[in-house]
Structure 1
Amino acid sequence: MKRNLAPRLAAALLVAGSCTAVWAQNTPPAGKAAAPASGRTLLLGGSGVGGGPLLTRAQLRDCLERRDAVAAGRAEVEAERASLDAERPALAAEQDSLKADREKLNEFSQRSKELVARYSELNQRVQDWNQRMEDLGERTGPTAEREKRKLDREKAEIDKTRLALDAERQQLEQGAQGGVSAFNARAAAAEAKVVSWNERNLALAERTEKLNAERDLWAGECANRRYREDDEILLKKGAK
């Protein structure tokens, strides 16, 4: 399982923090009402000399609402980015743990190969024993008796070796089966977490790009625009 945990489109997460600071300079301190100043004009979200026609009250309302929406969106994406980044260490730790368990399963595989080789050697001994037993046939006499006793001892050793190999094979199969099942379950769960993380990360990057576009559009249409202070005061009081 290969999943890229590195945030894609990470550059899109850079939302200019200066906008909030600039916007805030036109907001009266908490607990103090702005005093009307008839005819006075202010500059929205920028510095220097304002350009373009004076904003109408409707235009000012739209600009202020869009400014607040961008600021709220920026707070949301930053919070979600922090949450996603906080998940990454646990995902990486799980990957490391799975890698260690996979190496253990590889040890089972190696032992299994060695066991197959030892079974092959044993089968060769059995074939050799059968051939010698067949060659002995119905012969009698001291030499034949000695050969028969030798073959009987070898058969006992072969049977003993086979029992040992069978016991080792059973133990290996039980350990491997349990290990493989547990590993597969954990690997599937980890894969699902990685897929979810990548999907949410991509969605966040797309939302951030969209938010940056909205911020840039606001800067082009609203920043450095002059407006009447009286209109802002009336809007805060609920005027249309």
Structure 2
Amino acid sequence: MIRSAVILFALGFTLVPSAHAASDKLRIGIFGSGKGAGPLMTRAELRECLTIESRVVEGSQSALREREQLEKEKAELIRQGEVLKSEFEALDKTSLEALQAHRDKELARDKAIDEFDARSNAFNARIGALEADRATFNQRCDNRRFDQADEAAIRKGK
């Protein structure tokens, strides 16, 4: 009688983990388009990869919008330069007031160009940081396997 209880207990004990394992089947996700290699990422590694991926995606979208704005500003500065050149050719060069007004417009454009250069340099620095994040993601995360349950838990804030 005791022997049958021990056997039933042992059978019950082995059946529970099997049923649990079947319901928690490991689902593999992969960063990148490759087949994925190496051991599964830990939750900490996955969290870091998701953070880097988020920075890259948001940074890329932001950079695209900023680049479009810079291109518009550049086109406007070029247009202003052409207008100033044509105005200077048509300018009454004997009028000191007209020459001074034109010079003021040129100084304002030069100031706008300096501001544009500063924004362009800052943009280029942000692009450099974005490229560094992309390289880090490619090195640490691309074609790495992870458990999708871990990803879901991280996204839920666990």
TM-score for the superposition, normalised by structure 1: 0.53
What's the secondary structure of 1:91's corresponding residue?
A: helix
Q: How does 1:166-205 map to 2 (within 5 A)?
A: 172=94, 176-205=95-124
* Partner residue in 1 for 2:28: 41
**Deviations for 1:171-208, whole angstroms, at most 9, x for unmatched residues?**
x4xxx111111011101101011111122112212211
Whether the aligned pair in 2 keeps the contact of 1:53 and 1:226 (CA below 8 Å) is yes
Residue 237 (1) aligns with residue 148 (2)? no
Check 1:210–1:180 CA distance in 2 against 1; reply closer, same or farther (3 A cut).
same
* Partner residue in 2 for 1:206: 125
Give 5+ residue unaligned stretches, structure 2: 1-22
Q: How does 1:1-240 map to 2 (within 5 A)?
A: 37-43=24-30, 45-105=31-91, 108=93, 172=94, 176-239=95-158
Alignment root-mean-square deviation, CA = 1.7
What's the secondary structure of 1:48's corresponding residue?
A: coil
Whose Rg is larger? 1
**In 1: Cα distance, 2:74 partner to 2:34 partner:** 43
Which AA in structure 2 matches 1:219?
A: N
**In 2: Cα distance, 1:186 partner to 1:76 partner:** 32
* Dislocated runs of 4+, deviation >6 Å: none
TM-score for the superposition, normalised by structure 2: 0.78
Whether the aligned pair in 2 keeps the contact of 1:66 and 1:218 (CA below 8 Å) is yes
**In 2: Cα distance, 1:191 partner to 1:101 partner:** 16
Q: CA deviation at 1:64?
A: 0.5
**In 2: Cα distance, 1:56 partner to 1:90 partner:** 51
